[in-house]
Amino acid sequence: MSETLLQVTGLKKYFNVGKKQILKAVDDVSFSIEKGKTLGLVGESGCGKTTVGRTLLRIYEPDGGTILFDGQDISHVSKQKSRELTKKMQMIFQDPYASLNPFFTVGEIVAEGLQIHKICKSRAEERERVNELLTMVGLSKDHANRFPHEFSGGQRQRVGIARALALDPEFIVCDEAISALDVSIQAQVVNMLMEFQRELGLTYLFIAHDLSMVRHIADQTAVMYLGTLVEYGDTNEVYSHPVHPYTQGLLSAVPVADPDYEKTHQRIPMDGEVGSPINPKPGCRFCGRCRKATDICRTETPVLRDMGGGHRAACHNV
């Protein structure tokens, strides 16, 4: 039996951006992730992916909805409890350079969490754990004394992963963790993440622009548009039978390395404005760009409906 690690219901995160201007970065988003599995979260820049990740990790206080982690409601917790949660929930960032303190050695960076949470009983034990973590991510203990600028982008991301693994977490948000890396290095890092998942039973929220990488790593995929989920289901289903016009458009823009396919394949254009998450109007947020939009789309907000087998889409016309 599979167990749910994370159950998110009706999550909202709003930002006040001026007089009566409310930016609805995440607006009524629901999904769940099973233990040891990966949910891919895709969508255009600014649609709210990072905000979902940061709200789950309680960097942001949610403005509505509930987050159940291992059955426990963590939507609103004390500072103390939130510190404890950071042991179980970690994040890997897009830009490994900006997210690593340049004045700390790699050893100090990886050890920081161990020290904050007083995990090791002695300096020697700490050093040993740091060496173990560096080895796990394909670096060596000699790297511990060097500074982030002495590493390549791929190596720096390995340091970021070692830091995230230091506290033995159960859940990791990988926010564009590979987007800044060379294509060849991307595959190495993704394979490493998948290996850790198998070995350590980790659960991931994998945020990415690159749809083909998400197909490779994610068991389930959620497609986000302007703060809302428009489609969600098993990755194979979503990729082979996308039902929401937005998902269809996104997927049709992905290049496929097959000349025959490219000859017959049609790109679905997505014209019009992306729209604004500030004071959004009722109705479907994609409707201004949608080929299939009808009157109801302009007035009624569609909700995610099951199309069969847990494949859900929020569209009035499917």
Ligand X SMILES: Nc1ncnc2c1ncn2[C@@H]1O[C@H](COP(=O)(O)OP(=O)(O)OP(=O)(O)O)[C@@H](O)[C@H]1O
> Interface with ligand X by CB under 6 A: which residues?
15, 17, 23, 25, 43, 45-51, 277
Residue nearest to Mg ion (CB): 50
- Shortest separation between residue 192's beta carbon and Mg ion, angstroms: 22
Nearest residue (CB) to ligand X, 42 versus 297: 42
Q: Minimal distance in Å, beta carbon 280 to ligand X?
A: 11
Pair 130, 105: CB distance under 8 Å: no
Tokens, residue 316: 């009035």
Binding at 266: pick from Mg ion, ligand X, none (beta carbon under 5-8 Å per type): none
Which residue's CB is nearer to ligand X, number 36 or number 153?
153
Residue numbers of the site for Mg ion (CB under 5 A)? 50
CB of 109 to ligand X, least distance (A): 23
Rounded least distance, CB 226 to ligand X, Å: 8
User: Which partner, ligand X, Mg ion, none, binds residue 15 by CB below 5 to 8 Å per kind?
Assistant: ligand X
Between 75 and 228, CB nearer to ligand X:
228
Residue whose CB is less far from Mg ion, 50 or 55:
50
Q: How far is the CB of 25 from ligand X (least distance, A)?
A: 3
Nearest distance in Å: CB 176, ligand X: 6
- Residue 48 partner contact from ligand X, Mg ion, none using kind-dependent CB cut-offs of 5 to 8 Å: ligand X
116 binds, among ligand X, Mg ion, none (CB under 5 to 8 A by kind): none
- Name which of 15 and 104 has its Cβ closer to ligand X: 15
Which pair of structure tokens corresponds to residue 112?
Answer: 């920081």
Closest to ligand X by CB, 114 vs 230, is 230
